Structures are given as structure tokens and as C-alpha cells.
Amino acid sequence: MASVMVMRPDFSQTYARSVARFGGTLVGVALATGVVRSAHPGTYLSAVLAVLCAFCMYLLMRTGYAAGQVFVSAYVVFLLGMAGAGLTQTVRERVLLTLLGGLLAMLSYAVYPAWETPRLRGRLADWLAAVGAYAAVVTARYADPAGPASPDVREALLRTRAARVAWQEAVDRATHEPVRHRGLSHAAVEEAGHALAEFGRVAMLMEAHLPERGARPCPPPRPRGVPAPVDGAGREGGAGAQEPHWEDLRETVAAWSADPRTTSCSTRAPSCSWGPWRT
């Protein structure tokens, strides 16, 4: 039971819960045994102490796994104290079996590991694809204004946030692993995270200036050619966290910048539907 309770999908949580379970069990058993041997509580008092330990266990459940194990172990000792038989032998067995369960959990993880470092490329690919899709949807709303409360933009933003959280959690778990694998280096992880975070901030800045529904597209009509290259580059790069082909996107942006209607938009501040163009 101890092995099942402490095992988790990643190494850091499995190790932390193993140590917390054994340490909490040791402290709880020692404190409760000391109370039983020194105060010699009767059946009713032992029952009250057991209920009090159960209450503290639920009260401190979110504080930490170790705190919960302290009161669980004390709860068991007070229940055994109500019977008054085999207390020393049962307590000793509980401590030894808890230690054995934690060691079995760590051994199982060593034999069948689920390291997070090799999965970083996949997490990065998901985030890259999500950010690319989000930027494409935002850009499309300038070619076809649908208002700031466009549902497709909101859904794309939520997918981007979920992908970023999954990436950050994967990086945190990989940082605490005791071994290093072939994959992204620490420098590459930091640089990739910074680059995609900046990409997401630019898309959010564009979203903050989305034109109202029915507004004239600005600049017309070149933005209609932008979302497809942006989304394509994001999905292509996300397919394996590889370097995407940016040629189509560069050609589209270059043609967009060379269009006289694009540069003339800055002189039409009252009619321009995108705030940044006014500067």
C-alpha cells in the first residue's frame, strides 16, 4: 500500500512522497508511542486522541504529505492502544513496512523510468503550434473584423496558455531528475521558452487592439494572406520542434510591407482599425 500511495508519474514527486511518507510515519509513531507509554491513556482517551488525529489529518491535508502522514500514523497507534495488545510489535512492523514500500517504489521507478527530459521536445512542439495558431487567428481578425470578443480568439488563447503551463511543468520536473538525457540543453530550453513567450506577448498585444465588428480592414486586403503562413509555420515547427521553413511567411510580410496601402495606413488615423498603425 505504501508503494502504491507514493508512486507518481515523475521522479521528483515519487522521491519526495517516499521520503515524506517514511519521515511522517516515523515522527507520528514516535510521538504517539511516547504518549501511550508515558500517559497510559485508557480506552476512551485513546479513542478521543484517535479522533483528534483524524481531524488534524483532514485539516492539514493540503499543507503537505508529510504532515498528513504524521497524524495518520499517530491515529493508528492510538487505535492499537485501545486494544492494548501487540502495540510494540505492530508499530515496529508499520515503520519497517513503510520504509520497504518507499524503497520498492523507488526501485520500480528505476527499473521502469518515465523521465521527462526526452518529452521536452514534444511539449515545446505543442506550445509552438498553439502560439502559431493563436497568432494566425488574431491576424485573421484584422482582415475580417469580428470584434474584441471573438470566440475563436479566446479559444486559441486558452489553448496557448494550457500548452505553456504543460511546458513549464515539464521543465520543472526535468530539472529535478538525477540523470541527463539526449535532448534539449538547459540553454536551449531557456532560449526557446523566452522566444515563444515573446511571440505570445506580441500576439496578445495585437489582440488588445482588435478592431470592432464591421470596421474596415486595415491595411486592406493584404492581411488575408498572412494567417495561413503564420499558422503553417507554427504547425510545421511544432511537428517535431524543428526549424520551420519561414520563406512563405517572409515573402508575405515583405509583400505586405511593400504595398503602398500598408504604409499609407499610418496617415489615416481616424479610419485605421488597428491602434498600433496610428503611431
Find the mean pLDDT for residues 209-225.
61
264 and 197 co-located in one domain: yes
Domain boundary among 111, 127, 160: 111
For 85, the 3-state DSSP assignment is coil
135 and 262 co-located in one domain: yes
For 275, the 3-state DSSP assignment is helix
148 and 272 co-located in one domain: yes
- Decide if pLDDT at 256 tops 70: no
105 and 127 co-located in one domain: no
122 and 163 co-located in one domain: yes
- Band (pLDDT 50/70/90 cuts) for residue 22 is confident
36 and 73 co-located in one domain: yes
- Decide if pLDDT at 266 tops 50: no
30 and 148 co-located in one domain: no
48 and 144 co-located in one domain: no
82 and 125 co-located in one domain: no
pLDDT tens-digit map of 28-62: 888 888 888 888 888 888 889 989 999 998 888 88
- Decide if pLDDT at 239 tops 50: no
Q: Where are the alpha helices (DSSP H) in the chain?
A: 2-6, 11-39, 43-59, 65-83, 87-111, 120-143, 151-175, 186-208, 227-238, 247-258, 260-263
d(CA 33, CA 46) in angstroms, rounded, equals 12
> Rounded to the nearest 5 degrees, what angle is found at the Cα of 74, between the Cα atoms of 92 and 54?
145
Q: What is the pLDDT of residue 76?
A: 85
Q: What is the pLDDT of residue 264?
A: 47
Mean pLDDT is lowest, of 69-78, 120-129, 215-224, for 215-224
38 and 155 co-located in one domain: no
- C-alpha cell belonging to residue 213: 465588428
Find the mean pLDDT for residues 212-232.
54
Domain boundary among 83, 111, 139: 111
Q: What is the pLDDT of residue 265?
A: 46
d(CA 7, CA 113) in angstroms, rounded, equals 11
- Band (pLDDT 50/70/90 cuts) for residue 67 is confident
Number of domains in the chain: 2
d(CA 133, CA 27) in angstroms, rounded, equals 52
- Band (pLDDT 50/70/90 cuts) for residue 249 is low
Domain boundary among 111, 142, 176: 111
- Band (pLDDT 50/70/90 cuts) for residue 240 is very low
- For residue 9, give its domain range: 2-111
177 and 254 co-located in one domain: yes
Q: Residue for cell digits 503611431?
A: 279
d(CA 77, CA 49) in angstroms, rounded, equals 10
> Distance of CA 56 to CAs 17, 51, 67, Å?
19, 9, 9
Q: What is the pLDDT of residue 53?
A: 92
Give 24 or 228, the one with higher predicted confidence.
24
62 and 89 co-located in one domain: yes
- Decide if pLDDT at 238 tops 80: no
Find the mean pLDDT for residues 93-117.
82
Classify residue 86 as left (phi > 0), alpha (psi -120 to 50) or beta: left
d(CA 147, CA 144) in angstroms, rounded, equals 9
